Amino acid sequence: MNRKLTKQEKNWLISGLKTLETGEYRGGGNLVSGMTGKLKPLDEPKNPEPYLQQIDELRVVSKCKCDDLDCHTVKFQHFERGNCPAIVAIQIEGGRLLIIDVHKEKNLLAGREVI
């Protein structure tokens, strides 16, 4: 597999990455902490532009093999197992979770999940 992102995939990335500038990118203000039972506070705002500028060059190189038609987990060309933590984990429409991973050494978008 080696394809461009769909319009929906781009929209998910844009909306998720824009939460970097609001501090909501780790579920702040929207997700309940499993440890405290309270809403998670906002994180420090970050500039999303370095990530937003990468979107048009991304290629989907693999997708989840779970066979669930509602699973939208994909890896981009920069994915490297063990080196790609989540930078965004937020709740989106329908109560689903959007997770965006980045290569921690190269600072490049590496994957996206909608579960």
pLDDT tens, residue by residue, 77-95: 999 999 999 999 999 988 8
Q: Is 109 exposed, middle or buried (0-12, 13-18, 19+ CB in 10 A)?
A: buried
**Domain ranges for the chain:** 3-114
According to the model, what pLDDT value does residue 30 have? 85
Sign of CA dihedral 80, 83, 51, 115: positive
Exposure letters 79-105 (e unless 16+ CB within 10 A, then b)? beeeebebbbbbeeeeeeebbbbbbee
pLDDT tens, residue by residue, 20-72: 999 999 999 888 888 899 999 999 999 999 999 999 999 999 999 988 888 89
pTM as predicted? 0.92
What type of residue is 84?
C
